[in-house]
Amino acid sequence: MGTLARRPLLALLVLAALVTPVTPVAAQAGPPPFEVRDGVTQPIFDFAAAIRETTWVDTGMDGDADGRPDRVAVDVVRPAEPARRGQRVPVIMDASPYYSCCGRGNENQVKTYDAAGRPVGFPLFYDNYFVPRGYAVALVDLAGTNRSQGCVDVGGPSDVASARAVVDWLSGRRPGYDAPTGGRTSSATWSTGAVGMIGKSYDGSIANGVAATGVAGLRTIVPISAIGSWYDYFNGDGVSFGADPVDLARLVEEHGGRPACAGANSGLATAAPENGDYTAFWADRDYLRGAANVRASVFAVHGLGDDNVKPINVGRWWDALARAGVPRRLWLSQTGHVDPFDYRRGQWVATLHRWFDHWLLGVANGVEREPQASVERRPDAWVDEPVWPPVGTHAVTLHPEPGATPGLGVLGTAPAAPGTTEAFTDAAGQDARAWAAAPGKPSAARVLFDTGPLAHDLRLAGTGSVTLTVTPATPTAHLAAVLVDYGPATVRDDTAPGEGIRTLGTRSCWGASRPGDSACYLDTAAVTADVDRQVFARGWADLGHHDSPARGEPLTPGRAYPMTFRLSTTDHVVPAGHHLVLIVGGTDSGTTVPPSRPGRLRLDLAGSLVRLPVVVGPRPGGRGLS
């Protein structure tokens, strides 16, 4: 992709790194170093006495083009007692770019070190809770961040390889060192080689990417609010969300970017133009392509109100894993971009504990036979599902039809008559919530199609799509499709500052503490709102990409173009008596960038439809849904 410079010396250095003797993982001595009671491991080890150390792992890459292979820093905390007995422990690993620039968790914790550079403060509760139970916790600085060498490539081959290299080190396949340059070889002879990766957002995305390489030793991953394809993070179907990979790289490199990474960042800018094209750059960051390689089990967690890492990411990743037959579990909340520790804390810690015990230690606790999915139906009210999407979910096609008032149509089961159209003008300053605000009033900026009141609950679970046939008046056109549930409800307010939670003044403790590394965290509570409508699925497209996501083309004004694009993944029940509404507009302000020449768009109703993943399908009866 042109971002990682290479020099002739590198080949020799990489070869030297690959042939450096690696101490094999030692054989387990004596009984296992953990105690199980009531199906879970017990906190029998002294957290205050735990070993804290840093190892630098050779990645074999030279992202900063200094002629030396980059080393990434791995801060480890592990129980001392098994080490003294020659016993090995499994590893919980979080590879992140955020350990110094931005912090982790609701309290934005960063790593801290003593005067000698030894790790003291480990963000989040994983070390406090799991180290006393016989696990090591390894927090990895991705290449180009904090104490690691190299450069960030925003979810690309360097990011993934730098985390995979640590899995290899933990499994005895790659050397580590006790210094960032030179130093003595450091082998993870204390590790069983069984690794579980966890993390939210960027961190969880890297866990997905490493799993997609099929690396041996990675037994499970727990991606939280994570990316499955970085194209879907930065783009819709051919339309850009306006974020810049270079800005993200410079943020996590700190202080506006490392000088040595200027060339790498320039390469990112060249390879990822803001035009919505699906290029080789995005293919390198599309972990779905490696889903068939995944050997690890997957426990995915996502907020259905997440406007940062949009739910299409978990939906497409889940579907790809299902096709590959990967053991998996899913939690879907009503929150936005929020960690489950902050909206379902007690249940989360208990479930994660049993999950790691089973997949990393082989504890027969039955967690793998529990319901596959848990969905938050109302604030703090969860429903378990044996499988997800539920058995019986099928694609149902609904059609937009004209209504008595132009711009206010019907969403029904019968196609519209040929030649029936509606029109609107792309008003780039409006967004989906503005379009939904007055469903009984026509608007020049959108068209709306209403089922009328439903006679039965209608549940959608999965990823839908919309097909629109549109005639533009200008050479460029962007589209948005929105599903809205009209009717009274009490929901988590994912639009509030905490995206569905508020932080309280009290603390609860989850594990053991020691000076500089507390197990106590601020409590949270749900932020709710009484609403009369919910925007629960959206999709975006550039009409110029109607033929291919790889390359957009100028449009011919006056010519009709059909285009199919995706709606966001959802699990939502539209209750009986509520209305299901499809809204079609242009630029969804605040989410998509406007086209260079927005204009008037005419929608051919006969050539348009929406396909929805329905659990309880529409019932026969007239123009709308009975």
Catalytic residue among 62, 284, 337, 572: 337
257: nearest Cα among 151, 109, 159, 143? 151
Q: What is the DSSP string of 348-415?
A: HHHHHHHHHHHHHH-----GGGS-SEEEEEETTEEEEESSSSPTT-EEEEEEEEEEEETTEEEEESSP
pLDDT tens for each residue of 468-522: 999 999 999 999 999 999 999 999 999 999 999 999 999 999 999 999 999 999 9
pLDDT tens for each residue of 329-367: 999 999 999 999 999 999 999 999 999 999 999 999 999
- Active-site residue flag, 337: yes
CA distances for 437 relative to 307, 487, 531, 586, 593, angstroms:
19, 12, 11, 16, 22
- CATH 3.40.50.1820 range(s) for the chain read 8-385
Mean pLDDT across 180-191 = 95
**Overall residue count recorded for the chain in this entry:** 626
Confidence of residue 624 (pLDDT cuts 50, 70, 90): very low
Neighbours of 347 (CB within 10 A): 13
Structure-block tokens of residue 220: 């499970």
Strands 579-585 and 446-453: antiparallel
The strand pairing partners of 399, in sequence order, are 412
Q: What is the DSSP string of 609-623?
A: EEEEEESSPPPP-SS
CA distance 92 to 105: 17
CA distance 573 to 613: 12
pLDDT of amino acid 522: 98
Mean pLDDT of the chain, nearest integer: 92
Alpha helices in 441-498 (DSSP H): none
Which residues contact residue 531 at a Cβ distance below 8 angstroms, ignoring those fewer than 6 apart?
488, 489, 490, 491
CA distance 67 to 490: 59
Catalytic residue among 148, 186, 191, 201: 201
- Whether the link from the prior residue into 389 is cis, omega within 30° of 0, is yes
pLDDT of amino acid 309: 98
pLDDT tens for each residue of 573-618: 999 999 999 999 999 999 999 999 999 999 999 999 999 999 974 4
327: nearest Cα among 363, 297, 370? 297
pLDDT of amino acid 621: 37
pLDDT tens for each residue of 209-248: 999 999 999 999 999 999 999 999 999 999 999 999 999 9
In the predicted model, is pLDDT for residue 182 greater than 60? Answer: yes
What homologous superfamily does CATH list for 394-490+533-614? Answer: Galactose-binding domain-like (2.60.120.260)
Structure-block tokens of residue 56: 């630098």
- CATH 2.60.120.260 range(s) for the chain read 394-490+533-614
- Is 167 exposed, middle or buried (CB count within 10 Å of its CB: 0-12, 13-18, 19+)? buried
**Dihedral (CA of 543, 544, 547, 549) sign:** negative
pLDDT of amino acid 5: 31
Strands 71-78 and 297-303: unpaired
- Active-site residue flag, 306: yes
In the predicted model, is pLDDT for residue 623 greater than 90? Answer: no
Catalytic residue among 127, 141, 168, 306: 306
137: nearest Cα among 198, 78, 74? 78
pLDDT of amino acid 27: 42
CA distance 584 to 305: 20
In the predicted model, is pLDDT for residue 626 greater than 60? Answer: no
In the predicted model, is pLDDT for residue 24 greater than 80? Answer: no
DSSP designation for 99: T
pLDDT tens for each residue of 113-163: 999 999 999 999 999 999 999 999 999 999 999 999 999 999 999 999 999
In the predicted model, is pLDDT for residue 571 greater than 70? Answer: yes
CA distances for 234 relative to 227, 483, 489, 526, 553, angstroms:
10, 21, 31, 29, 20
**Dihedral (CA of 186, 190, 193, 195) sign:** negative
* Percent of the chain residues past pLDDT 70, beyond the cut: 93
In the predicted model, is pLDDT for residue 558 greater than 50? Answer: yes
* Percent of the chain residues past pLDDT 90, beyond the cut: 89
CATH of domain 8-385: 3.40.50.1820
Number of continuous H segments (helices) and E segments (strands) in the chain: 12, 30
pLDDT of amino acid 31: 58
